[in-house]
Amino acid sequence: MGRKGLVRNRILMLMCILAGCSKGPDVGNYCRVEISLTGGEYATKALNPEDDRISDVSILAYDRHGMLEESLWLENYRNDKCFLDLLLGKEYRIFACVNFGYPVEYGSITELENHRFHMAYPDEYHTGIPMTADSGFIRIGKGSGLNLELSRLMAKVSIRMDRRRLSDDVEIKVRSIKVCNCPRSVKVFGQSRVTDPDECFSTGFYRNPEECTPMNEYSEKGISREISVYLFENLQGRFNEAGIGSDDEKVFSPDDPRKDLCSYIEISMDYISSEHKSLDKGLIYRFYLGEDRNSLDVERNCHYRITVCPEDDGLKGDGWRVDKEDIVKIEPVSFTSWPESYIRGDIGDRIHIGCTFTPSYAPFDVGLEYMMDDKKEGIYDFEIDEDGHGAVLTLTGPGRGLIYMEAGEPVNEAAMWIIEVNLPGS
C-alpha cells in the first residue's frame, strides 16, 4: 500500500532553556524557564496545512504526583518568548498542545491524557496541524536545556499515479480524491481508533478537480506529480492475522463491521478508451490504508506515500475496490422515431409512439409534460413504456395534441408528433 516514514522535513522543537530568574538573579529555589518555539514561515493555508506552522500553544508542567503546577497559553503565537517559574531540582513532566485553537488546562495528567481533540469539519486546519509534545519526567537544573519534539496528531497521505502500464488507447484523468471513514476526533495523548461509524465524517478531507491537477500532469515516464490528504490517527490493527497475498484481497465482506471503521482513500476518474467511457460518476478506485498490505493502521505523525498503478485497460477488479458501475461500452450513434410525425385517429384508437437510439446510456426525455397537458385537454390518455423510450396513447376526445421526445449526449436528436382526434370536418 505504500511506504511509511516519519514526517520530519522540518523537526519542530520546543526549546526550553533555563535562563535567568524572575527578577534578575535567581530568587530562592525558583528559576524562570524561558521557552521559545521554532517552526516554519507564518502563513495561512486552509486546505494545504503546513506541517510546521505554529499558531497557538498551551504548555503545562506537572509535578511528580501528576498534578498541574504551572501552565501558559499563547493565543496568537509569533515566535514569542514565554516563561514558566519552576522549582530548581524538582522533577516535572512538561506537555505542549499546539494549534488546538483554544487553551488546554487540566489539573492532573490523568485528565489531560483522556482529552480528545475534535474537528467540526475534516479540513479545519486553518490554524495548522494539531501537534503535541511530552517530555517525560525531567529534573530542573541551572544551565540545563530541554528539547521537546512535536508530534502531529494526523497522518499525511501523498498519492501519485503511474500510467506506464496502461494500454495506449486508455486515458484516465483524476477528478477527485477523498478520505472516507475519516475520524472526527483523536485522543491527544495515547493511541486512537474509531469504534463506531458515527465517529467518522461521511466524507473526509477532499480534493476537487482543480486541486487534482498535479495527478494529471506527468512526465514522459508516465508518473504524475503527487497530492496529499490528511486524517487523524485510526489504529484498526491487522486485516488478516494469517496474511493476504495481494491488494485485491484487502476488501471486507458486506457484513463485516470493520468496513465502516477503517479509513480508506477513494479516487474518482474520467475514463475513456477505444471501447469504453465513463459517465457522470466516473471510474472509482478505493483502497484501505496501512503500513503494509495486511495493515489497517493509520498512525499519527506518519507520512504514507502511495503510487496507484492501473494496468492494461485499467478496469481490472470488481465490486467495491474497482467500481465500474458508471463505465459503459462505446456504441455507434443512431436515432429513429416511429410512427410518422403526423397521426390522425378516432376516439378509442390505441397508438404506440417512441424512439430507438444508441448508445443506450444517452439521457432521454420522453415528453411527459406534453402528454400531461394533452391528457388534461381530454385528447388522450397514455402509458409510458417500461424502458421509458415511448408511450401507448389511448385517444379519448376530439382535439389536437403535440408530443416532443429528445435524446441527449452523444445522440442529440429529437422527434415530434402531432396527434389529431375526430376534428370537425376532417
Q: Give the Cα separation of 114 and 92 in Å (integer).
A: 19
Taking residues 7-14, what's their average pLDDT? 38
Domain ranges of the chain: 12-151, 154-329, 334-421
* 219-255 residue pLDDT tens: 767 799 999 999 999 999 998 877 787 878 888 988 9
Q: What is the pLDDT of residue 17?
A: 36
Cell 517559574 sits on residue: 85
Q: What is the DSSP letter of 28?
A: T
In 3D, which of 315, 312, 273, 278 has the Cα closest to residue 166?
312
In terms of DSSP bridges, do strands 302-308 and 154-161 run parallel, antiparallel, or are they unpaired? parallel
The three cell numbers locating residue 25? 538573579
- Among the four given CATH numbers 2.60.40, 2.30.30, 3.30.310, 3.10.350, the one describing domain 154-329: 2.60.40
CB 115 within 8 A of CB 106: yes
Given this chain, do its domains 154-329 and 334-421 carry the same CATH topology? Answer: yes
Instruction: Report the largest interatomic distance among the alpha carbons of the chain, rounded to a whole angstrom.
Output: 119
Q: Is the pLDDT of residue 402 over 90?
A: yes
Residue 260 sits at the vertex; the CA angle it makes with 255 and 265, to the nearest 5 degrees, is 120
* 245-303 residue pLDDT tens: 787 888 898 899 999 999 999 999 999 999 999 988 999 999 999 888 889 999 999 99
Q: Is the pLDDT of residue 26 over 50?
A: no
Q: Give the Cα separation of 149 and 134 in Å (integer).
A: 8
Q: Is the pLDDT of residue 19 over 70?
A: no
Q: What's the CATH class of domain 12-151? A: mainly beta
Q: What's the whole-number average pLDDT of the chain? A: 85
Q: Is the pLDDT of residue 364 over 50?
A: yes
Taking residues 44-62, what's their average pLDDT? 73
Write down the pTM of the prediction: 0.74
Q: Give the Cα separation of 226 and 3 in Å (integer).
A: 14
Direct distance between the N- and C-terminal alpha carbons of the chain, in angstroms, rounded to an integer? 76
Q: What's the CATH class of domain 334-421? A: mainly beta
Edge-first strand listing for the sheet containing 390-395 = 334-338, 350-358, 390-395, 380-384
- In terms of pLDDT, which residue wins out, 7 or 161? 161
Banded pLDDT at 142 (limits 50, 70, 90): confident
Name the CA dihedral angle for 280, 205, 122, 322, rounded to a multiple of 10 degrees: 60
Banded pLDDT at 403 (limits 50, 70, 90): very high
Q: What is the pLDDT of residue 37?
A: 52
Q: Is the pLDDT of residue 354 over 80?
A: yes
